[in-house]
């Protein structure tokens, strides 16, 4: 396990720190740290605070991802998935939720709204080149490899 410092903000009071649900879980569930319920209508987005600020270690990012049950049952997703929390960001972790479903979704205080996954990252170094090596795929993209 990688230690990640966390600060709980005043509006987190009464909630519990995210924890892994099982030994094999990749993500922790983030909770809505809101004072009152909010409703996200079909097609709308909302920025939901978690009441947490974290210090992601250098060489890592924290990824904010949708919860599969909310996506399947309600059409609730994270539109910039995965959202990235950089190692030098110290503000509050907030989650953009988008309702792709057909009915309004009620978000209540303490509701598990997204997952947080810690991931190792590497930074790239550009190498200016006159050309790139040839591959069988070449420049084909956007479905060029077929559906089956």
The answer to the question of residue 138 being in a domain is no
Encode the chain (148 residues) as per-residue pLDDT tens digits. 999 999 999 999 999 999 999 999 999 999 999 999 999 999 999 999 999 999 999 999 999 999 999 999 999 999 999 999 999 999 999 999 999 999 999 999 999 999 999 999 999 999 999 999 999 888 888 877 777 7
- Tallying the residues shown for the chain, one arrives at 148
Is the backbone of residue 142 left (phi > 0), alpha (psi -120 to 50) or beta? left
Number of Cβ within a 10 Å radius of residue 130: 4
User: Using alpha carbons only, how large is the chain's radius of gyration in Å?
Assistant: 19
Q: Which of 5, 8, 84 is nearest to 49 (CA)?
A: 8
Domain that residue 66 falls in:
6-120
Q: What is the CATH number of the domain that holds 58?
A: 2.70.40.10
The answer to the question of residue 144 being in a domain is no
The answer to the question of residue 141 being in a domain is no
The answer to the question of residue 137 being in a domain is no
The answer to the question of residue 39 being in a domain is yes
The answer to the question of residue 71 being in a domain is yes
Q: Count the domains in the chain.
A: 1
Instruction: Tell me the C-alpha distance between 119 and 146, whole Å.
Output: 30
The answer to the question of residue 15 being in a domain is yes
């Amino acid at each position: 396990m990688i230690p990640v410092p966390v600060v709980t903000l005043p509006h987190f009071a009464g909630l519990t720190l995210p924890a892994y649900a099982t030994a094999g879980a990749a993500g922790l569930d983030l909770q809505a740290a809101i004072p009152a319920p909010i409703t996200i209508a079909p097609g709308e987005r909302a920025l939901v605070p978690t009441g947490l600020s974290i210090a992601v270690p250098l060489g890592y990012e924290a990824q904010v991802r949708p919860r599969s049950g909310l996506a399947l049952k309600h059409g609730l997703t994270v539109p910039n998935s995965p959202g990235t929390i950089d190692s030098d960001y110290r503000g509050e972790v907030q989650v953009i939720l988008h309702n792709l479903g057909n009915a309004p979704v009620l978000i209540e205080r303490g509701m598990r709204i997204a997952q947080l996954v810690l991931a190792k990252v590497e930074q790239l170094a550009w190498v200016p080149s006159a050309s790139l090596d040839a591959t069988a795929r070449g420049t084909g993209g956007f479905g060029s490899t077929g559906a089956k």
